[in-house]
Structure 1
Amino acid sequence: MNAYQPIFQKQKDFFYSESTKTYDWRIDQLNRMEKMLRENQEIFCEALHKDFGKPPFEQLFEITVPLGVIKYYKENLRTLMQPQQVPIPKGLEATGNKGVIYKEPFGVTLVIGPFNAPILLLLDPAIAALAAGNTVILKPANTTPNTAHLFQQLIPKYFEPEAVNVVLGGREEITELLQLPFDFIFFTGSAAVGKIIMKAAAENLTPIVLELGGQNPTIVDETANIDIAADRISWGHNAISGQWCIAPGYVYVHENIASEFIEKLKAAVTKMYGSDPSQSPDFARMISEHDAERVASYIVPEKVVLGGRFNIKERYVEPTILYPSTWDDPALQQEIFGPVLPVMPYNDLKDIINIIKRKPKSLSAYIFSKNQANIDYFLNAVSFGGGCVNQTNLHCWIDSLPFGGVGMSGMGKYYGKAGFDALSNTKAMLMGNPDWELDVFPPYAGKDIASNLSVFS
């Protein structure tokens, strides 16, 4: 028997009891989650620092964002749960019929979290799932063992196992979990693993959301505020040591301002992390020696204009700027997911957009510009999950903006209402007038079918 069948079946049986569909149960789960985060904020932050040196701001970010999501659902849950009447053809409406949309939970949900935000990106989907009336089995990243074991300790103290449970482990445990017929799977991680998740989900026709990644393009045109662009790209790229799925992956800067931009970008990095970022309390480490070695291999010494140092044993790669980069460079052959930033000069916006839109679709994209025509052209021409104009990364903090990828960067959106909708089955109902006669049935000879069908137009 599958090792996880008992906890799966316990949740399945509980879901069949109809208890999770009530407002009170859902609010109770949200209150429990909020209490767990507030009462254990300090030890959650300690675990994050032990796992890979997350600085205080990035630690608190992982607590405050889920708390904000909980607040949204608690304030809006009654409205989100309410059946919604929608317009239907006037002929049907005039004869006493109406269209209603119901949102119902899927059932037992598997949430597989990543290492880079092991609290936030595990709990945000779980919070949406609970708000939508699902039960949840959590699978934290095994590469953040302190955080994962903390979940293993705390979840049973705050939740009943039929509502929320935790499974630890790596590839072997995930493989066994995926053999179970979950009602929904939410995965955040790499595209390579996302393909495996999708294949497994297909065996049971399980609906999924995949939050993946990719090389996120960033454009700085000749009208941009260069100081603002340098600061925001420096922070956006180097936060979590570049291990952020929405981080700017590479920068195209207009050749007329390229030299000035490079100098300001170097100054911004130094301002944030000092001349020796290895001593900065605000610069995280790579998650593993393997990843440090991988990212260090992208550094082309002759193109380093800032940084370039690394220490594999310490899991440290210095914030590094490569200029001028080309698409032949190692750093542009895949998602970097580390603090190495390739910068390329450009002359014609249409030329580079023609290149960008033929690359795999990214999770995020950014443009710094005061030229609305350039902004509109970029947004219309390039497909990506979401992003910012004259900002980086901040779109993922706003619960009214659906978050998710497209193509190789994922499928499905969540956050706020989008999260509730994603974790709910949309049940569309035509509520018929029991006394209204509609004769569209055989035999058809002699009947005015067109007249009867006119009510549908």
Structure 2
Amino acid sequence: MIASLVKKQKDFFGSGATRNVRLRKSYLKKLKKAVLEYEDQICDALYADFKKPKFESLATETQFILYELDEALKNIDIRSKPKRMSSIWANFPSSDWLYPQPYGNTLIIAPWNYPFLLTISPLIGALAAGNTAILKPSEFTSNTSKIIYEIISEVFPEEYVAVIEGGKETSQELLSLKWDYIFFTGSTKVGKIIYQKAAEHLTPVTLELGGKNPCIVDNTASLKVTAKRIAWGKFLNCGQTCIAPDYILAHKEIKDKLVQEIINGIGELYGKSMEDSPDLARIATESHYKDLKQMLLGEQLLFGGDFNDQTRYLSPTLVNEPDLNSKIMEGEIFGPLLPIISYDSIEDIERHLSNYERPLALYVFSKDKKFRELIIKEYSFGGGVINDTLLHITNSKLPFGGIGASGIGRYHGKYSFDTFSHQKGIIKKSFWPEIPLRYAPYRLPIRLAKKLKYLFQ
């Protein structure tokens, strides 16, 4: 069944139908209309999956997608046209161009933490660039997966875009086939498997992974504002955000005060009875809920640590000075647990950051411009924010993606279109004039041949 569907999409792409920019725009408009019509149902599905607050569902899923659709529709015409590039003297006279060409048949595998956003967002780039797509939403958020299936089935013929639901076996079957492009969002562990399977066919990939994102707070930061912004960025979506602060490195002079301000900030966000707050989501999967509870064993808690096995509730929790070899510091936490570690010097920061692979995000809170610039320039990471958290993902003019273990490739806005396009370089020449110097037998003196580099300017 899957193989026959993929063949249908290959035939449809081969027909040239998706090269038509008007067709792309018409379907993007249909998708926008469907998202608007289904918006409340999407929010209901997200709540059913892990009690995601409706405001968060709107702000971080549906409204984000509607913005990305508007952005793609606004710019698709200019992005789809060949772009004139400057020529060089060696090719005179010529005109030089970049032609964007869709890859063809794309596979998009999405995670469970932002199940609607991270399924539809890459799809927008794939469609704008002129590809077909098969979507594999996460089986762990089944209600959202069903809504995605309904929307896509209503908007698109299956030879253009289709949704395939299922678990690990379905993903394995999909990855056994040949694709023109694979876009995956998820863990580094699974990303390596995707990369290996793609390599069998030399299929290009985008891997949006994760990492242990540091949040550095020095002794010049405005602590009350810092604390609330960290608490918001960490506990949004109950910490299940790939760019959430994973741990804090706080200067020893302000650590205790920062802890108290974060506790105050959590109280302002979720009230005294956090379990009853309508604004705090739950852990999306049972297996991850159990993993998070295991991370707390033997740790010194500064705040929180409450849980409810029946509802997968885990409270915002602050962990004091965990050992670098502890379970909570092994890899990405991906939940509402926030280790806080003190530092005394740049060397301390270096020791902690060098203990991990390059992260997807980094945050630094400071009024000291030299310190901020040192951190931003010295360390390698996907992207970040100074004096706030998460916000770099909201600007479509900025590329979003990781580096090394935190990912390969980038997307959002123009970068999504570019990701799903092969940029073909073309030089156009006429039959006249004909310059004989490049042909054998070579008559140009060697002393002049040694100056040929100037013709490539």
CA offset at residue 312 of structure 1?
A: 2.6
Q: Distance in 1 between matches of 2:64 and 2:151?
A: 19
CA offset at residue 325 of structure 1?
A: 3.0
The answer for the alignment partner of 1:32 in structure 2 is 30
Q: Match of 1:172, SS?
A: helix
2:173 counterpart of 1:153 = no
The amino acid across from 1:369 in the alignment is S
Is the contact made by 2:184 and 2:207 (CA closer than 8 Å) also made in structure 1?
yes
Match of 1:425 among 405, 418, 422: 422
The answer for the alignment partner of 1:162 in structure 2 is 159
Match of 2:338 among 319, 337, 341: 341
The amino acid across from 1:235 in the alignment is W
The amino acid across from 1:9 in the alignment is K
Q: Match of 1:284, SS?
A: coil
More displaced 10-residue stretch of structure 1: 444-453 or 356-365? 444-453
Residue 107 to residue 403, structure 1, CA distance change in 2 (3 Å)? same
Q: Match of 2:441, SS?
A: coil
The answer for the alignment partner of 2:72 in structure 1 is 73
The amino acid across from 1:223 in the alignment is T
Is the contact made by 2:238 and 2:335 (CA closer than 8 Å) also made in structure 1?
yes
More displaced 10-residue stretch of structure 1: 244-253 or 7-16? 7-16
Is the contact made by 1:321 and 1:342 (CA closer than 8 Å) also made in structure 2?
yes
Is the contact made by 1:215 and 1:336 (CA closer than 8 Å) also made in structure 2?
yes
After the TM superposition, which residues 214-253 of structure 1 pair with which residues of structure 2 at under 5 Å, given as runs?
214-253=211-250
The answer for the alignment partner of 2:356 in structure 1 is 359
Q: Distance in 2 between matches of 1:333 and 1:366?
A: 20
The answer for the alignment partner of 1:210 in structure 2 is 207
Q: Match of 1:343, SS?
A: strand
Q: Distance in 2 between matches of 1:352 and 1:75?
A: 43
The amino acid across from 1:333 in the alignment is E
The answer for the alignment partner of 1:16 in structure 2 is 14
After the TM superposition, which residues 233-382 of structure 1 pair with which residues of structure 2 at under 5 Å, given as runs?
233-300=230-297, 303-382=300-379
The amino acid across from 1:423 in the alignment is F
Q: Distance in 2 between matches of 1:431 and 1:221?
A: 56
Is the contact made by 2:187 and 2:210 (CA closer than 8 Å) also made in structure 1?
yes
Is the contact made by 2:299 and 2:322 (CA closer than 8 Å) also made in structure 1?
no
Q: Distance in 2 between matches of 1:64 and 1:445?
A: 64
Q: Distance in 2 between matches of 1:27 and 1:455?
A: 42
Q: Distance in 1 between matches of 2:396 and 2:110?
A: 19
CA offset at residue 81 of structure 1?
A: 1.1
Is the contact made by 2:110 and 2:118 (CA closer than 8 Å) also made in structure 1?
yes
2:389 counterpart of 1:392 = yes
Q: Match of 1:117, SS?
A: coil
How many percent identity over aligned positions? 38
Deviations 1:120-162 (A, max 9, x none): 0110000010001111111100000111112222211111112
Is the contact made by 1:357 and 1:382 (CA closer than 8 Å) also made in structure 2?
no
The amino acid across from 1:55 in the alignment is P
The answer for the alignment partner of 1:52 in structure 2 is 50
Residue 51 to residue 440, structure 1, CA distance change in 2 (3 Å)? farther
Is the contact made by 2:437 and 2:443 (CA closer than 8 Å) also made in structure 1?
no
CA offset at residue 438 of structure 1?
A: 3.2
More displaced 10-residue stretch of structure 1: 424-433 or 169-178? 424-433
More displaced 10-residue stretch of structure 1: 99-108 or 312-321? 312-321
Q: 5+ unaligned residues in a row in structure 1: which ranges?
A: none
The answer for the alignment partner of 1:85 in structure 2 is 84
CA offset at residue 83 of structure 1?
A: 1.1
Is the contact made by 2:186 and 2:208 (CA closer than 8 Å) also made in structure 1?
yes
Return the TM-score normalized by structure 2.
Answer: 0.96
Q: 5+ unaligned residues in a row in structure 2: which ranges?
A: none
CA offset at residue 91 of structure 1?
A: 4.6
Q: Distance in 2 between matches of 1:224 and 1:63?
A: 34
Q: Distance in 1 between matches of 2:197 and 2:327?
A: 32
CA offset at residue 88 of structure 1?
A: 2.6
Is the contact made by 1:326 and 1:344 (CA closer than 8 Å) also made in structure 2?
no
More displaced 10-residue stretch of structure 1: 429-438 or 370-379? 429-438
CA offset at residue 58 of structure 1?
A: 1.4
After the TM superposition, which residues 44-193 of structure 1 pair with which residues of structure 2 at under 5 Å, given as runs?
44-61=42-59, 62-92=61-91, 95-193=92-190
The answer for the alignment partner of 1:455 in structure 2 is 455
Return the TM-score normalized by structure 1.
Answer: 0.96
Task: Tell me how many residue pairs correspond in the alignment.
Answer: 453
CA offset at residue 321 of structure 1?
A: 0.2
Q: Match of 2:246, SS?
A: strand
Deviations 1:284-305 (A, max 9, x none): 1111222111101111565111
More displaced 10-residue stretch of structure 1: 162-171 or 151-160? 151-160
More displaced 10-residue stretch of structure 1: 125-134 or 438-447? 438-447
Q: Distance in 1 between matches of 2:354 and 2:88?
A: 40
CA offset at residue 333 of structure 1?
A: 0.9
The amino acid across from 1:66 in the alignment is I
Q: Distance in 1 between matches of 2:68 and 2:271?
A: 34
Q: Match of 2:382, SS?
A: strand
Q: Match of 1:99, SS?
A: strand
CA offset at residue 442 of structure 1?
A: 5.4
